[in-house]
Amino acid sequence: MIYLDNAATTRMCEESLAVLDDANRNRWFNASALYKEASDETGRIREAREALSAALRAGGGELYFLSGGTEADNTALLCTRKPKGSRVIVGEGEHDAVINPAKVLKEQGYDVVFAPIRPDGGVDEEKFAEMLTPNVSLVSVMHVSNETGAVNDIAKLVKMTKKVSPKAAFHSDGVQAFGKVKVDLRALGVDLYTVSGHKIGAPKGIGALYVAKGAPVRPLVYGGGQEKGFRSGTENGPAIEAFAAAAERAVRLLQENSSKKHDYIEHLANGLAEAVPDTVFITDRERSAPHILTVAFSGVRGEVLLHALDARGIMVGVGSACSSHRESRFKSLLGLDEAHRDGIVRFSVSETNDIAEVPVVVQAIKEETEKLRKFARK
């Protein structure tokens, strides 16, 4: 098996697995209870929060554990206090966890506008600037595109926003950034930032939202008052601890792992360019995260190619795994010609991928695209 869909989810790392197994076997207590074991669990959650905050260089804000990136994005969009009818700017290429709450805000009467993206998937800064007005109350632009790996200059976009509308809250979805590129929340200047565990070798079902001091955000989930009243519900202590372990590992090995991913992607891109004629490279490798390469093959459908490769033990993506409608929405934004727009495929790697896989992948794609093109011409 060759797994090249790490932007969808990653294999749990050994450090995270060990913590999760030990915690579930030996520390299953409810942190809200009053006996000593519960108090000990509260302490471990506090330590995990501190470790994750340090990994994010979070500074003086608060970090709240939630069920994942989707809940964090929904909280940021729907629960940030904003004047009725004020402007909300959202990147056109955002994940559906941001796009769909933005549509809800539009239905509620907010002036929601979508900032266009460049052909590589990053936000067009000039067009973004044109959308800024003094009544902007909220901006949401992802740090790294989950579709193409494009890295947005969040610090620059924050400064542009605050200059025009100083009270606006700025949210960034960092799900594909954290653990892949350097993240320093103090330097970025964001008010809200989303991270997810299963993208960096932690379990599914755990994520976090960073909230800067003074950011006007209220809870999405009410109940027993856990997470300092911000996110009620029994804390998932084992997953929280495992998330922190994975985060510490990801930051510690960031440079080493980034180099591995970069080399793999470069070899793959060069191999595809030589072996598969008329391939369009959507990812701009000069300004992208190291783990994603998105291309468009001519004369084939990405989903059909995905299934052909799957039959050969190679797993790739055609866009976000969270929505079957996502790929069709996103591909219309990239300005591809008719021959290429249906042939989008996303390759996403982790440090566990071996560069020796590349010739196998390239040869398989060469053979399958040739077959599919012949079939399409009949």
Q: Which residues are catalytic?
A: 322
Would you put residue 208 in left (φ > 0), alpha (ψ -120 to 50) or beta? Answer: beta
Distance, CA of 297 to CA of 346 (rounded, Å): 11
Distance, CA of 142 to CA of 302 (rounded, Å): 24
Nearest to 367 by CA among 270, 264, 274, 276: 276
CA angle 124, 126, 132 (to 5 degrees): 105
Is there a contact between 135 and 86 (Cβ–Cβ < 8 Å)?
yes
Distance, CA of 255 to CA of 245 (rounded, Å): 18
